[in-house]
């Protein structure tokens, strides 16, 4: 079975390597290009539509390997494939024609509804400090749709540097893969393996200096796929266990959260674009393009590692250990966000409080001596 997984990864990787140059030529042919402006980091016209190569490699590898695996949940897989097709078409149209937000949202909602129609949704709520599972009935549908649309857009928002979205998505996919291997979930293992292969093949052309961008077609598809895979792997738990997929996607979700908080603090519309995302802040601190991306890879890996550890705590019913990690991770994330100025360049209440606290402790130590 592991040999089949290896074949799936290699097939997806090779297909992405072969398809990406063709997609690059196609992007130039149809005018799906990204011109530099005051918000962009790149300085020359770049082809978009890289998501087509990722998606086609993903679909191709699935049909190469899946017939040999009897345990694959074909309904779940087809929900991901068909919904993925809708989201890729939506993204590709935006890459070419710059769709209005309402049309992009419509495409995302249709894709999410397709996933739900194939039976993929968050079914139960797990109550903390207890063993009770509370069915949430019809609420499972809007909760699932909001999750898929939210994650899809979160991955799209961090697509600001060469290889950033692809690399972060690859790390998140690897984390889900590790957890799927721990649980023996064949469907999730297969889908993660071929998605990781597709990302790896595309990364050859997308890492700095990039030869092609994935565009909305790629960023939306990767976010959609990760959201769907997290539901497939953790579909019967929310509240406590849903924190696992939230941690897996910690970088894009936290960056989106801080962007909303930043715009609220600065009295700007929530949808207003700016240059204060995580990758922008790292560049403004003097880090190079490549180093900024690698730093964010490291942060994503820490989130992924915490997700695996928390999954172990959940399996052992160690709620307190889980809560301690979550609280510590949240505090570190908040302090780090204030330190780099992702929320506000001047207002840093948590850091100021800690500095006063440390100052008082130092003064107390001196008086004690």
* C-alpha angle 18-75-51 in degrees, rounded to nearest 5: 30
Q: So what's the pLDDT on residue 40?
A: 57
**pLDDT band per the 50, 70, 90 thresholds, residue 135:** low
182-234 confidence digits (pLDDT tens): 888 899 999 999 999 999 999 999 998 889 999 999 999 999 999 999 888 76
The binding site comprises 156, 216
Q: What is residue 215's DSSP assignment?
A: H
- pLDDT top residue among 195 and 335: 195
Q: Which residues pair with 133 in a beta bridge?
A: 126
The pLDDT tens digits for 2-50 are 889 999 999 999 999 999 999 999 999 999 998 776 555 556 788 999 9
Angle between helices 140-157 and 101-117 (to 10 degrees): 130
- 121/145 Cα distance (integer angstroms): 8
**Distance in angstroms (rounded) separating the CA atoms of residues 168 and 113:** 26
pLDDT at 138 over 50: yes
Q: What is the mean pLDDT of the chain?
A: 85
Q: Identify the burial level of 183 via C-beta atoms within 10 angstroms of its C-beta, where 0-12 means exposed, 13-18 middle and 19 or more buried.
A: middle
Confidence of residue 128 (pLDDT cuts 50, 70, 90): very low
Which stretches within 47-100 are classed as H helix? 50-65, 74-97
Domains of the chain, by residue range, sit at 2-347
Q: Are strands 33-34 and 46-47 parallel, antiparallel or unpaired?
A: antiparallel
pLDDT at residue 361 is higher than 90: no
CA 203 to CA 213: how far, in whole Å?
Answer: 10
- Predicted structure pTM score: 0.88
pLDDT top residue among 82 and 239 = 82
Residues at the binding site for Mg(2+) are: 156, 216
- Least reliable range by pLDDT among 93-107, 199-213, 284-298, 300-314: 300-314
**Overall average pLDDT of the 109-129 stretch:** 78
Exposure letters 271-306 (e unless 16+ CB within 10 A, then b): eeeeebbbbbbbbeeeeebeebbbebbebbbbbbeb
What is the mean pLDDT of the segment spanning 340-362? 75
Least confident range from 86-95, 111-120, 317-326: namely 317-326
């Amino acid at each position: 079975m592991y040999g089949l997984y290896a074949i799936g990864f290699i097939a997806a990787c090779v297909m992405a390597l072969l398809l990406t140059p063709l997609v690059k030529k196609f992007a130039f042919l149809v005018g799906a290009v990204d011109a530099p402006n005051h918000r962009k980091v790149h300085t020359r016209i770049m082809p978009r539509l890289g998501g087509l190569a990722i998606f086609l490699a993903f679909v191709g590898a699935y049909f190469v390997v899946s017939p040999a695996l009897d345990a694959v949940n074909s309904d779940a897989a087809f929900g991901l494939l068909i919904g993925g097709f809708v989201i890729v078409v939506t993204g590709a149209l935006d890459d070419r024609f710059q769709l209005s937000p309402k049309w992009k949202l419509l495409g995302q909602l249709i894709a999410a509804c397709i996933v739900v129609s194939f039976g993929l949704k968050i079914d139960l709520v797990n109550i903390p400090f207890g063993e009770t599972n509370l069915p949430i009935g019809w609420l499972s549908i809007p909760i699932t749709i909001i999750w898929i649309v939210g994650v899809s857009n979160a991955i799209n928002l961090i697509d600001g540097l060469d290889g950033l979205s692809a690399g972060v998505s690859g790390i998140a996919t690897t984390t889900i893969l590790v957890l799927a291997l721990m649980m023996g979930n064949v469907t999730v293992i297969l889908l993660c393996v071929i998605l990781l292969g597709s990302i790896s093949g595309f990364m050859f052309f997308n890492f700095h200096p990039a030869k092609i961008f994935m565009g909305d077609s790629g960023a939306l598809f990767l976010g959609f796929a990760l959201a769907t895979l997290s539901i497939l792997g953790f579909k019967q738990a929310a509240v406590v266990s849903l924190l696992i997929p939230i941690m897996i996607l910690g970088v894009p979700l936290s960056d989106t959260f801080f962007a909303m908080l930043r715009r609220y603090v600065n009295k700007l519309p929530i949808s207003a674009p700016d240059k204060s995302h995580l990758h922008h802040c790292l560049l403004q601190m003097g880090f190079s393009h490549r180093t900024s991306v690698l730093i964010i890879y490291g942060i994503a890996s820490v989130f992924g590692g915490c997700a695996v550890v928390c999954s172990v705590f959940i399996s052992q019913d160690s709620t307190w250990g889980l809560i301690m990690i979550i609280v510590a991770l949240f505090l570190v994330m908040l302090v780090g966000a204030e330190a780099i100025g992702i929320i506000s360049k001047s207002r840093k209440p948590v850091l100021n409080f800690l500095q006063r606290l440390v100052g008082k402790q130092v003064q107390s130590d001196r008086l004690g001596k």
